[in-house]
Amino acid sequence: MTEDSGRHGRGRPNEGPKAAARNRAALVAAAREVFAERGLEVPLSAIAKRAGVGQAVLYRHFSDRTAAVAAVLEENVRQIEQAAEDERATFAGMLGVLTWHLTDSAAFIGLLHAERAGSRSGIRSQTLGLSERVERALRQHLPPEHRLSAGDDLTLAIAMVSAAVTSPTREERELRALAAWRLLDVEVGPVRAFDG
């Protein structure tokens, strides 16, 4: 790779591995936007186009649609896990962070719905691990006497609230999410991204 670095047709010169990381970031960002705007079934080419890369680059990074969805969600999940690591975290605070992500990402909402029979089964089964991580993070701060501490109540409550969060505008989504938690008689901390 010393003299042949000009072998790419034309277009931007080979920028080496650094471009790979940049492309991946661009793709994830593009996927997040496009999934939010047009649903989880957009043509994959739309993601590549938005990211400004060729389609094959998308395939290099994500072997299929599922992987792209998972990559988008991974970021949300990781933030929630980080929030859980914070020693000062409370359950209500965790719910605030969770709610923030629910209002932020349409794909994330879908993640927290339980598996729907037959629908897009691929995506769900491969992202199940992610939703378990979310739940584990929340349980770290769930007081034993909390009204959601029994059995699957937490799982259920999250699914129920995420169902409520369906609105075109962000503000509306937040209002609905908070209303849903209130209906469940669950206290929620401030709705915010975790910033450390």
Partner DNA sequence: AATGAATGAGGATTCATTCAT
Partner DNA sequence: GATGAATGAATCCTCATTCAT
Residue 101 binds which of a second copy, DNA, none (CB < 5-8 A, kind-dependent): none
Is 164 in contact with 176 (CB distance < 8 Å)? yes
Structure tokens at 190: 């401030």
- What burial letters (b/e) apply to 9-22, b meaning 16+ CB within 10 Å? eeeeeeeeeeeeee
Q: Does 55 bind DNA (CB under 7 A)?
A: yes
| Single residue of 65, 70, 102, 111 touching a second copy by CB under 8 A | 65
Q: How many residues bind a second copy (CB under 8 A)?
A: 49
Owner of token pair 């993640």: 111
Choose the binding region for a second copy from 78-86, 92-100, 135-143, 166-174 (rule: CB under 8 A): 166-174
User: Of the candidates 93, 178, 181, 184, which has an alpha carbon nearest to the alpha carbon of residue 143?
Assistant: 93
Contact track, a second copy, 84-123, x by CB under 8 A: ----------------------x--x---xxxxxxxxxx-
| Single residue of 29, 36, 44, 142 touching DNA by CB under 7 A | 44
One-letter-per-residue 3-state SS of 147-169:
CCCCCCHHHHHHHHHHHHCCCCC
* Chain residues in the site for a second copy (CB under 8 A): 1-3, 5, 9, 17, 35-43, 64-65, 106, 109, 113-122, 148, 152-153, 156-157, 159-164, 166-168, 176, 179-180, 183-185
